[in-house]
Amino acid sequence: MSFGIIYYTFVLLFAGLTYASFEGRLPKIHRLQHLTVFGFSLISEWPLPVIGLKIALIIFASMLGVFKGIVPQIFYIIDLLTMIGLVVIFVDAYEARRAIEQAIQLYSGSKELPTFKSETFWQRMVNPRFIPQDVVYYSNISYATHEEANSANKVAFEQVNFMSLDVYARKQPSDVKPVLLFIHGGEWIRGDKGAPYPLIRHMAESGWVVVSTNYRLAPTSKYPNQLIDVKRALRWIKTHIAAFGGDPQFIAVAGDDAGGQIAAAMAFTQNDPKYQPNFEKTDTSVKACVLINAITDLLDENKFWDMNIGEDFCQNVAGLKVKDESFLKEHSPLHLIKKDSVPFLVFHGDRDTFVPFKASGHFVEEFKKVSKSEIQFIPIPGGHHVYHLFSSPRSHYQAIGVEEWLNHIRHDMMADNDKSAE
């Protein structure tokens, strides 16, 4: 009887999450939204492991005689329908392959991404535990100076621990490699550089040197300290990354969610002394920026958000008493676009109900109106807010797309430099 209750609970839980993964609505209670978003993404990115778990539970329940009676049979039917829905979700995830292939075909040499028939697809892309074997990482390297660490300690002792980064690289790099700086998300108040983003490991395996950085979190540390910290991490990269095989002359930045806002703000405010206290003369320029489900508009004049993002940011992240529209404009990537901005690549899951999908499309449209630089927008079919956190077809296809685009940007820049030198 006790296992029957466990089985019924799992049936209802996964049936609800599977349905919600299609529907995508968030609960109105803010504290439940983060758990719900994670649940959406878990189901949509790992449908096959969930199906495997359900089959095991069905077999075990059958052996224990759980399915005797009408009510258990109803639950069994619900379970079968849920598994059909999970298969549909899996096929839907495969559509990301087509989206990425179409997006990169102009500069990738018609590269064909792994298909169902490929060993790579089954060994890597649907393997929730896949980790490249020829990548090493160096963890918890401090990027703060002695004075910066002391200043952080005065606010709260643990804050200095956030001023650190990890470096990922190939075990035996053959030559100097370009660098990708990745900034984690988490609404500026949570998250960690050690989150298992497949993008980080893929780029390192592909030959890039990847730096994943932490930054001090709100509300203990008020914004724009997060932006300043990441610029400090970039300062460290410019000075030290050559020791890890990285090329300080080509650094791209990427981020998701709030990390995307920081990455974009960093790209738009490079060498701005306002955000470089006591290192004003340090070069904080980057060559390109990649955004994933990023927050690009804090002012939200188009009312894409279901919440008052501006008021929340001002009060809970920046520590301001009231909503300050000029401050929001100053830190919204949408309002920082310049004619000579660096190239941008923008991803957004079309089922993201946490950060509005439409906001990214609007950012791309405005970028094209203002800047002469390249920008590419790749909607990810079926992607929820944290799809890219899981080792799944969507995240691996996206990682390939990032690699191809950044290599394309780097190739074009090198070609332009060669022409200028002639």
Per-residue pLDDT, averaged over 61-75, amounts to: 82
In tens, the pLDDT along 122-154 reads 888 888 888 888 899 999 999 999 999 999 888
How would residue 420 be classed by pLDDT, with cut points 50, 70 and 90? low
pLDDT of residue 31: 64
Q: What length does the chain have? A: 422
Q: Do 5 and 41 meet the contact criterion of CB atoms below 8 Å apart?
A: no
Give me the pLDDT at residue 205, please: 94
Cα(127)–Cα(48) distance, integer angstroms: 9
**pLDDT class of 310 with cuts at 50, 70, 90:** very high
- Cis amide prior to 178 (ω within 30 degrees): no
Q: What is the mean pLDDT of residues 264-275?
A: 97
Mean per-residue pLDDT for 108-114?
Answer: 78
The pLDDT-based confidence of 37 (bands split at 50, 70, 90) is confident
Q: 37-46, 334-343, 373-382: lowest mean pLDDT where?
A: 37-46
pLDDT surpasses 60 at 422:
no
Neighbours of 191 (CB within 10 A): 19
pLDDT band per the 50, 70, 90 thresholds, residue 118:
confident
The yes-or-no verdict on residue 13 having pLDDT over 70 is: yes
pLDDT in tens, 348-366: 999 998 899 999 999 999 9
Is residue 341 within 8 Å of 266, Cβ to Cβ? no
Q: What's the chain's average pLDDT?
A: 91
- State the pLDDT confidence band at 28, using cuts at 50, 70 and 90: low
Answer yes or no: CATH 3.40.50.1820 is held by domain 104-421: yes
Averaged pLDDT for residues 100-108: 89
Query: What pLDDT does residue 386 have?
Result: 93
Which pLDDT band holds residue 288 (cuts at 50, 70, 90)? very high
In angstroms and rounded to an integer, the radius of gyration of the C-alpha atoms of the chain is 23
Q: How many helices and strands in the chain, by DSSP H and E? A: 13, 8
Q: Which amino acid is it at 291? A: L
Q: Spell out the domain ranges in the chain.
A: 2-93, 104-421
Mean pLDDT along residues 369-384 = 95
Q: What is the mean pLDDT of residues 266-273?
A: 97
Tell me the average pLDDT across 37-61. Answer: 88
Is the model's pLDDT at 242 over the cut of 90? yes
Scanning 105-246, the segments in alpha helix (DSSP H) are 119-120, 146-155, 198-205, 225-240
